[in-house]
A and B are shown apart, each in its own frame.
Chain A
């Protein structure tokens, strides 16, 4: 084991002197991601606040058909703009987000007590128009409800008869579980960090060593080749794990800075949650180090290795993206899927739930088996002449 330890120590120390590997492990995950996170959260919440509080300016076509409705809107603080020639074109060109059109039939329908049609022109596929649209709808519904109530009262009917059921929300989500942005993004960021944290080392210690022509002299030493390879892999895993620890610590300090008031959320990452997350993700670090080392060792050159790494990004991304698009209820069988189970477990830890030993064990076991499988492949790679000699 002396050889393994010697190789490990040398790779760790040598790469501490390399600005690129420090950038990848220390800067990218632990500093860039939290900053990005806070920035996005601020941006999102201020944007939301802005469109909720901003004065609504709505063009109305056919104002003259419903003067009472229009003055109701004005009372509610809406600024009524004059009607454009072609409202559809105006929405399409994004000059207006929402336009109300009151058809000629409105007066007739209103007088005879039929539901009077009002058209709302908008493009809901533009996400920024969702809030103004909802606000206009809300105002129109409020007006409708008010008139409906008056009509019933005039005929001597109690308005409560119109409300046979009343739905009451009882909110069971904990403050933590409401931090949706964080819930979705954090597993994703951590899984990627498990890969990026050691990426530079994986390349430098294999393809880099070959390119520098120092691999052959290294292999002439009386150390079994699998020990050399394993030492390198351990160094890669160490950098990735350190990167994860730093990232989690950074997030711990970053969460209190999030605009919680705006999100209605109070998030914190307890020491126990950090410990749980690290335990859950540790086998991913081994798997990532083994996969990256295998790929980089098989590459003929440094450049080839670097181009493979772009693809490697997809591996942790796919399970995270599936979870992001289609959030699902964690179930026991899902814990056997490497890299997917961690997404679920990290979510549970962040929500402050207690995670069952069975789940954790399944996740750790399945990922570790895959990781050690890859490590065994990597460890045997230096026995192939094709891997050792680039020419």
Chain B
């Protein structure tokens, strides 16, 4: 359960987020949809306590990221915008490193990595150094290391960026399986099909503000459009930034 109210964040003169409020319910996939530069990444960074908000309040399962940062980091699994891996370490070592940072025991890490290798289909490359990995392989390792400590809530920032069709399909299947396993998922994207295919609820962000909030069906009704794409354009008021 995530509750965000009246969030603000500026970088110098640039106002990245200006008054965002929304709720994420347990066991649902919530999509933050918006053009590039709308403030999605900044909002997520405030959720996982990397940035402190200038104003406003965040509660994740009752915890405040500005005060209980360590506790929140233990309950969250985050695949951020930057997904750099350590190229001189194998995929397994990359994942295990994060497990150790979560103070997991070597045994727990071993069993958990085996599970992740199966669910994410990583057997082919788990022992290889990550130098020269494909985008798809890199995303899998980034997801695995974010999930190593079995977080209840999962935040994904543009997870399908740079993936080919096959990898994207595999990723979507995985996100749906998270929901089936009872996780709450927040996912930011600028791709319409993605939210249409995955999300229970869609939060449209434009220019640092919430433009609309609801299920796909509700958004269509609200905008009076037939397709989600038209609804999206109508709701954010322009086509700018959509074709990226």
Residues of chain A having any CB pair with chain B under 8 Å: 2-3, 6-7, 10, 14-15, 17-18, 209, 212-224, 385, 388
Comparing B73-81, B174-182, B187-195, B224-232, the segment that makes contact with chain A is: B73-81
* CA A221 to CA B94, docked complex, whole Å: 13
**Closest approach, in angstroms, between the C-beta of A5 and any C-beta of chain B?**
9
Q: Are B101 and A3 in contact (CB under 8 A)?
A: yes
B1 within 8 A of A: no
* CA A214 to CA B100, docked complex, whole Å: 16
Binary contact readout B19-31 vs A (1 if CB under 8 angstroms, 0 otherwise): 0000000000000
* A6-B100, A221-B101, A224-B70 given; A214·B78 CB < 8 A: no
Q: Which residues of A contact B219 (CB under 8 A)?
A: none
Q: Which residues of A contact B83 (CB under 8 A)?
A: 213, 217
**Closest approach, in angstroms, between the C-beta of B147 and any C-beta of chain A?**
12
Q: Which of B95-122 contact A (CB under 8 A)?
A: 97-98, 100-103
Q: Are B84 and A213 in contact (CB under 8 A)?
A: yes
B220 within 8 A of A: no
Listed A/B pairs (26) with beta-carbon separation below 8 Å: A2-B100, A10-B89, A10-B97, A15-B88, A212-B84, A212-B85, A212-B86, A213-B82, A214-B84, A214-B85, A214-B86, A215-B82, A215-B84, A216-B50, A217-B78, A218-B101, A220-B48, A220-B76, A220-B146, A221-B73, A221-B102, A222-B71, A222-B73, A222-B102, A222-B103, A224-B70
Option from A209, A216, A222 in Cβ contact (under 8 Å) with B101:
A222
Further pairs besides A213-B84, A222-B74, A222-B101: 14, Cβ < 8 Å: A3-B101, A7-B101, A10-B89, A209-B84, A215-B82, A217-B78, A217-B84, A217-B142, A217-B145, A220-B73, A222-B70, A222-B71, A222-B103, A223-B101
* CA A224 to CA B69, docked complex, whole Å: 9
Q: Which residues of A contact B76 (CB under 8 A)?
A: 220
B87 within 8 A of A: yes
* CA A212 to CA B84, docked complex, whole Å: 5
Q: Which residues of A contact B142 (CB under 8 A)?
A: 217
**Closest approach, in angstroms, between the C-beta of B135 and any C-beta of chain A?**
13
Q: Which residues of B contact A222 (CB under 8 A)?
A: 70-71, 73-74, 101-103
- Of all chain B residues, the one with the shortest Cβ separation from A5 is B100
Q: Are A216 and B80 in contact (CB under 8 A)?
A: yes
Q: Which residues of A contact B102 (CB under 8 A)?
A: 221-222
Q: Which of B41-74 contact A (CB under 8 A)?
A: 48, 50-51, 70-71, 73-74
Q: Are A212 and B87 in contact (CB under 8 A)?
A: yes
- A contact face: mostly helix, strand, loop, or mixed: helix
Q: Are B73 and A18 in contact (CB under 8 A)?
A: no
**Closest approach, in angstroms, between the C-beta of B190 and any C-beta of chain A?**
18
* CA A6 to CA B97, docked complex, whole Å: 8
Q: Which residues of B contact A215 (CB under 8 A)?
A: 82, 84
**Closest approach, in angstroms, between the C-beta of A68 and any C-beta of chain B?**
80
* CA A6 to CA B70, docked complex, whole Å: 16
Q: Are B82 and A214 in contact (CB under 8 A)?
A: yes
Q: Are A220 and B88 in contact (CB under 8 A)?
A: no
* CA A385 to CA B78, docked complex, whole Å: 18
**Closest approach, in angstroms, between the C-beta of B232 and any C-beta of chain A?**
26
* CA A200 to CA B89, docked complex, whole Å: 18
Option from A2, A3, A220 in Cβ contact (under 8 Å) with B80:
A220
**Closest approach, in angstroms, between the C-beta of B82 and any C-beta of chain A?**
3
* CA A243 to CA B26, docked complex, whole Å: 54
- Of all chain A residues, the one with the shortest Cβ separation from B87 is A212
Q: Are A219 and B84 in contact (CB under 8 A)?
A: no
**Closest approach, in angstroms, between the C-beta of A200 and any C-beta of chain B?**
13
**Closest approach, in angstroms, between the C-beta of A144 and any C-beta of chain B?**
74
* CA A2 to CA B145, docked complex, whole Å: 18
Q: Which residues of A contact B48 (CB under 8 A)?
A: 220
* CA A222 to CA B100, docked complex, whole Å: 10
* CA A15 to CA B86, docked complex, whole Å: 11
Option from A2, A220, A224 in Cβ contact (under 8 Å) with B103:
A2
* CA A227 to CA B94, docked complex, whole Å: 19
Q: Which residues of B contact A224 (CB under 8 A)?
A: 70
- Of all chain A residues, the one with the shortest Cβ separation from B50 is A219
- Of all chain B residues, the one with the shortest Cβ separation from A390 is B82
**Closest approach, in angstroms, between the C-beta of B110 and any C-beta of chain A?**
16
Q: Which residues of B contact A6 (CB under 8 A)?
A: 97, 100-101
**Closest approach, in angstroms, between the C-beta of B121 and any C-beta of chain A?**
21
5 closest A-B pairs by CB:
A214-B84, A213-B82, A213-B84, A222-B73, A212-B84
Q: Are A216 and B81 in contact (CB under 8 A)?
A: yes
Q: Which residues of B contact A17 (CB under 8 A)?
A: 88-89
Q: Which residues of B contact A221 (CB under 8 A)?
A: 73, 98, 101-102
Q: Are A388 and B88 in contact (CB under 8 A)?
A: no
Q: Which residues of B contact A223 (CB under 8 A)?
A: 101
* CA A214 to CA B145, docked complex, whole Å: 12
* CA A177 to CA B88, docked complex, whole Å: 47
* CA A10 to CA B88, docked complex, whole Å: 11
Q: Are A388 and B101 in contact (CB under 8 A)?
A: no
* CA A212 to CA B50, docked complex, whole Å: 18
**Closest approach, in angstroms, between the C-beta of A35 and any C-beta of chain B?**
29
Q: Most chain-A CB neighbours within 10 Å: which of B51, B82, B146? A: B82
Q: Are B88 and A18 in contact (CB under 8 A)?
A: yes
* CA A17 to CA B48, docked complex, whole Å: 32
Q: Are B88 and A216 in contact (CB under 8 A)?
A: no
- Of all chain A residues, the one with the shortest Cβ separation from B97 is A10
* CA A3 to CA B84, docked complex, whole Å: 20
- Of all chain B residues, the one with the shortest Cβ separation from A221 is B101
**Closest approach, in angstroms, between the C-beta of A52 and any C-beta of chain B?**
54
* CA A385 to CA B49, docked complex, whole Å: 12
* CA A213 to CA B83, docked complex, whole Å: 6
* CA A6 to CA B48, docked complex, whole Å: 21
